[in-house]
Each structure stands twice: as structure tokens, then as C-alpha cells.
Amino acid sequence: SAVISQKPSRDICQRGTSLTIQCQVDSQVTMMFWYRQQPGQSLTLIATANQGSEATYESGFVIDKFPISRPNLTFSTLTVSNMSPEDSSIYLCSAGTSVETQYFGPGTRLLVL
Amino acid sequence: AQRVTQPEKLLSVFKGAPVELKCNYSYSGSPELFWYVQYSRQRLQLLLRHISRESIKGFTADLNKGETSFHLKKPFAQEEDSAMYYCALLTGGGNKLTFGTGTQLKVEL
């Protein structure tokens, strides 16, 4: 198994600003993912964070809005850029040795005013 | 299109009653399905996967390809089963999980 931690756990931000969320895994993992969970909705995959290369983004998500870094096998960041109230959501990091065995972080609750 | 449908947002049952959380999927290939659970104030975690054909915490789920369903069942609900349950499908050529919208299970005394 893997233990995932995220920072910050929550934040309130002003529109137009950016927030970087950190995800730390307690062991080396192959796969790391970033999800968004909007109020009353399901988890939506934003991107797969690839170690040492550009992330793989899902339809509807772009690098300019959600830049992702993954410098090594245990750490990744997601930045929410130029935020608007529509970006208010829970952002989840997950990681694991395969897509089928993902362990989830506690989430970052973001409110944009 | 690859899609997971959980028709019930909320399911309320009495303790000791049977539970069935519905999940239907749309997928052109050979499906791999999962159930995830999130208890109050805890993180999302894997409950079971269909290829394991196992029972976890008394829950079972059978893949029915004819009905494209993967319903989660438990014969006797317990209070500690109250949680949010998500059905998920392995998609994108096996590169990602697609989640349903979730069902909140409430077990009443």
C-alpha cells in the first residue's frame, strides 16, 4: 500500500490568483493522478502525472490552466492557475503501482471567491 | 462512449435489511469494474474489484455483461456501512478509471 499526503488541506483564494497543491507519497510509485471532485459530482480525472515528462491531460483540461510537475517517483504538484469561482472544488491526488491499485490522498478543498 | 451510471444519489435502509447499490456501465471492450468507498472524514479507498470475485466486509458484486451491470450487494446492512460508494470502470485502454457519480448509503437503526 501507499500513504498519500496533500498540502494544503484547504484554502480560500481570490479570483485571478494561482494555487499549487502538493502530493507526497511514502513510497516510490509508478502512477500518480490528479482528480477534481466538484460539489455533488463524481471524480473527474484531470491528468496523469508522468515522472520526468509532461503530464497527460484529459479532454477539457489544459496545461496552461492546470500545470503539473512530477520531478520524482514520490512527489507531484498541481497548480490551479488564474482561478475563478468555477474552480472551487476538491482536488484529489492518487498514486499506486498500477491504475487498478490507486491509493487516494485526503484531498484539498479549494474555495475561490 | 465509456460511462458509469449510478442511478441513486441516496439509498436509505434499516439495519439488518439487504442492500443493493446499482451500477451500470457502457463500454465496448472487456470491462474491469471496481467499487470504492468513502467513509465520513476518511479518504476514498478500494472496496472490491470484480476480477477478485471476493467478499469484502460482507459485500459482493457480480459482473453481469448481459445487463452491463455491477451491482454491489450485502445481505444484512450494518450501521458502519454508511458511506459514499463509487463504482468505477477501467477505461482509456487500461490507463485510467472512470467513476460514477456515487451513491450515499445511509443505514438507519
Task: Please answer yes or no on whether B96 and A107 come within 8 Å at the CB atom.
Answer: no
Nearest to A21 by CA among A106, A85, A97: A106
Per-residue pLDDT band for A87 (boundaries 50, 70, 90) equals very high
CA distance B1 to A52: 31
**B100 vs A42, A58, A103: nearest CB:** A42
Provide the pLDDT confidence category of residue A56 given band limits of 50, 70 and 90.
very high
CB contact under 8 A, A104 and B44: yes
Three-state DSSP class for residue B51: helix
Of A13-22, A63-72, B47-56, which range is least confident? Answer: B47-56
Averaged pLDDT for residues A102-109: 95
Q: From chain A, pick out residues whose CB is under 8 angstroms from the CB of B96.
A: 33, 45, 48, 58, 99
Measure the CA–CA gap between A97 and A57, rounded to whole angstroms.
Answer: 19
Helix (H/G/I), strand (E/B), else coil: B79: helix
Averaged pLDDT, B14-33: 94
B109: pLDDT strictly greater than 80: yes
B92: nearest CA in chain A? Answer: A58
Instruction: Answer yes or no: do A42 and B102 touch at CB < 8 A.
Output: yes
pLDDT band (50, 70, 90) for residue B2: confident
pLDDT tens digit sequence for B76-93: 999 999 999 999 999 888
Cβ-based neighbour number of residue B59 at 10 Å: 19
Provide the pLDDT for residue A19: 98
- Interchain contact, B46 vs A107, CB within 8 Å: no
According to the model, what pLDDT value does residue A30 have?
A: 85
Average pLDDT estimate for A83-88: 96
For chain A, say whether B44 makes contact (Cβ under 8 Å).
yes
